[in-house]
């Protein structure tokens, strides 16, 4: 019988609770954010000294002939979006840029607001959303709001956004590892904010949700750290800020918005909000026409001992204990993105040499006669854990399993994980459980 321990954090990395942020624009007008934990339950109005009453438009827009809009069509604006440390805002709180934040409850009328920000996962029968539609208010997504408010972010900071149904974090981290051999890179993933140099990360802030609003904090931190590239993992789509977007996969799609739409539909905001001139790398299973495709059926494909670029195959030497199946999509996606960014293929190969996995993500380490199998993050699937457990099996096995559900939308299937651990318990000498949902009762 395994010895069982419980941790509320991953080994070597404290996992914090979800951080809440609030935001305001530097434009005149009023915006109401519906159901956005990242913004808080607030409404806000702002004045920019340019006059105009409370019903003045947030911004004018130019329409494209095809009805689509790109980030480059947006008028230049002063971004007034700022992170606040707590969602419990006090009335009449004034930001130095002139934005006035006012608390509101869930029964507030939307009559006085010009625009409504609604997350893509909000059910269509949400009372505020129904009211907004009835009043003819302009309704935009959380992602689009962030992109519009940050439209003035300098272009000399290379911005990359990553979304998909799986492999988001590993793709973002692998690309950061590869790109940081040539540039100073800041990554924003479920691991938190990390600054990368020469393939090595330094943690700046941990446990940060991948909700779109946290792109704001990531961009500010990237500029403060002198980063040349920013890589953001984002849940359910892109904001339109990125010069390069990555769709990791549409496999194992799932329902959102009260079961009324597929998550993949929301993730296609990576295309619908894309800025003019941006580029896209996408898994072939997305069945779209990107600038470069990857994984099975795509142009760039990873194998256990090589990287394939169309007709060219380059040898690849990965870590002996790497659970390749768990990383195959991410390696393919990161290599494809590096190709679009202009990196030499040989540089990508060198950056991946000896790669053995990331902590908490199917990482197997052998030390002092013991095998430590670490699969403690919410993005993993039980089938993947079992397959990796087969690879790690042996005497003196320490299994670290669990989740950090605060940082992702889709968490680990706890009942299935419990069944797996009961079935394989005789193979595990020590079991470490991570996450609040795995905390023993009492």
- Give yes or no for residue 32 having a pLDDT over 80: no
Paired sense of beta strands 158-163 and 229-233, if any: parallel
What span, in angstroms and rounded, lies between the C-alpha atoms of 308 and 118?
41
Q: Which CATH fold topology does 158-352 show?
A: 3.40.1190
Domain spans of the chain, in order of start: 17-152, 158-352, 359-438
- Spatial contact of 237 and 280, defined as CB atoms under 8 Å apart: no
- List strands edge to edge, sheet with 244-247: 200-206, 192-197, 185-189, 229-233, 158-163, 244-247, 279-283, 292-294, 300-303, 306-309, 312-315
- Spatial contact of 132 and 118, defined as CB atoms under 8 Å apart: yes
281 falls in which pLDDT band (50, 70, 90)?
very high
Query: What is the predicted pLDDT for the residue at 219?
Result: 94
Per-residue pLDDT tens digits for 219-252: 999 999 999 999 999 999 999 999 999 999 999 8
14 falls in which pLDDT band (50, 70, 90)?
very low
- Give yes or no for residue 312 having a pLDDT over 60: yes
Measure CA of the first residue to CA of the last residue in the chain; give whole Å.
Answer: 21
- Give yes or no for residue 438 having a pLDDT over 80: no
- Give yes or no for residue 394 having a pLDDT over 80: no
- Give yes or no for residue 217 having a pLDDT over 90: yes
CA distances from 14 to 11, 175, 429 (A): 8, 23, 24
Does the pTM exceed 0.75? Answer: no
The rounded mean pLDDT for the chain is 75
380 falls in which pLDDT band (50, 70, 90)?
low
442 falls in which pLDDT band (50, 70, 90)?
low
Query: What is the predicted pLDDT for the residue at 414?
Result: 79
Query: What is the predicted pLDDT for the residue at 395?
Result: 75
Give the highest mean pLDDT range of 78-92, 164-178, 364-378: 164-178
């Amino acid at each position: 019988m395994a010895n069982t321990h419980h941790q509320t954090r991953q080994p070597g990395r404290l996992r914090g609770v979800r951080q809440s942020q609030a935001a305001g624009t530097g434009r005149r007008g009023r915006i109401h954010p519906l159901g956005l934990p990242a913004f808080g339950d607030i409404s806000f109005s702002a004045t920019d000294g340019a006059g105009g009453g409370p019903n003045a438009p947030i911004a004018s827009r130019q329409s494209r002939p095809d009805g689509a809009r790109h980030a480059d069509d947006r008028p230049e604006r002063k971004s007034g979006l700022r992170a606040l440390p707590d969602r419990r805002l006090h009335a009449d709180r004034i930001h130095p840029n002139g934005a006035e934040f006012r608390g509101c409850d869930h029964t507030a009328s939307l009559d006085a607001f010009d625009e409504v920000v609604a997350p893509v996962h909000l059910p269509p029968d949400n009372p505020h959303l129904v009211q907004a539609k009835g009043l003819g208010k302009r309704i935009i997504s959380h992602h689009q709001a962030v992109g519009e408010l940050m439209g003035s972010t300098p272009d000399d900071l290379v911005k990359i956004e990553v979304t998909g149904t799986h492999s988001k974090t590993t793709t973002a981290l692998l690309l950061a590892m590869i790109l940081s051999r040539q540039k100073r890179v800041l990554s924003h993933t479920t691991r938190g904010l990390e600054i990368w140099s020469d393939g090595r990360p330094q943690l700046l802030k941990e446990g940060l949700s991948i909700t779109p609003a946290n792109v704001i904090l990531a961009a500010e931190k990237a500029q403060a750290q002198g980063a040349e590239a920013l890589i953001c993992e984002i849940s359910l789509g892109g904001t339109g800020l990125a010069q390069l977007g990555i769709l990791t996969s549409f496999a194992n799609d799932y329902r959102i918005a009260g079961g009324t739409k597929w998550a993949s539909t929301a993730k296609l905001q990576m295309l619908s909000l894309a800025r003019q001139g941006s580029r896209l790398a996408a898994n072939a299973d997305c069945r779209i026409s990107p600038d470069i495709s990857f994984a099975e059926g795509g142009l760039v494909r990873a194998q256990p001992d090589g990287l394939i670029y169309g007709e060219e195959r380059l040898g690849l030497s990965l870590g002996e204990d790497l659970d390749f199946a768990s990383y195959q999509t991410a390696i393919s996606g990161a290599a494809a993105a590096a190709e679009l960014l202009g990196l030499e293929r040989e540089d990508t190969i060198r950056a991946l040499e000896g790669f053995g996995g990331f902590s908490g993500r199917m990482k197997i380490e052998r030390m002092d006669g013991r095998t430590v199998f670490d699969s403690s993050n919410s993005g993993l699937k039980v089938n993947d854990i079992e397959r990796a457990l087969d690879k790690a099996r042996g005497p003196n096995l320490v299994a670290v399993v669990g989740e950090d559900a605060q940082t992702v939308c889709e968490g680990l299937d706890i009942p299935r994980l419990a069944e797996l651990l009961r079935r394989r318990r005789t193979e595990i000498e020590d079991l470490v459980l991570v996450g609040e949902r795995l905390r023993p009762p009492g």
